A and B are shown apart, each in its own frame.
Chain A
């Protein structure tokens, strides 16, 4: 997620965070939802291939790239975190 700010007519692009979630690897323990400070993640309403209701990225614009969700994920379903 990027934010474009014009300051003294100079374009400056600030990058906030972004996470990449593999919903087929998620086993629905929801530890990431508990760990996220900015409510980026929530429960999905459709099942994945494993038969779980996985976590879902709902607010990537709020993500600050702290990678807390990725650190607590036991299944490495959150594969990449950008900042």
Chain B
């Protein structure tokens, strides 16, 4: 997923940067991002007004 996070904790529309190949999993990842809003504001030391976040969710097989 990719989205832009602002200093105040808002995000713009998250997008699927690369699909996992499983529609349900893609949607679960999108939902996780939606439901985490609003994010806390940036900690001190980060100056820019926004940050582009690439967040990767992966699913592995455990036997």
B and A form one assembly: no
Which B residues have a C-beta under 8 Å from some C-beta of A?
A: none
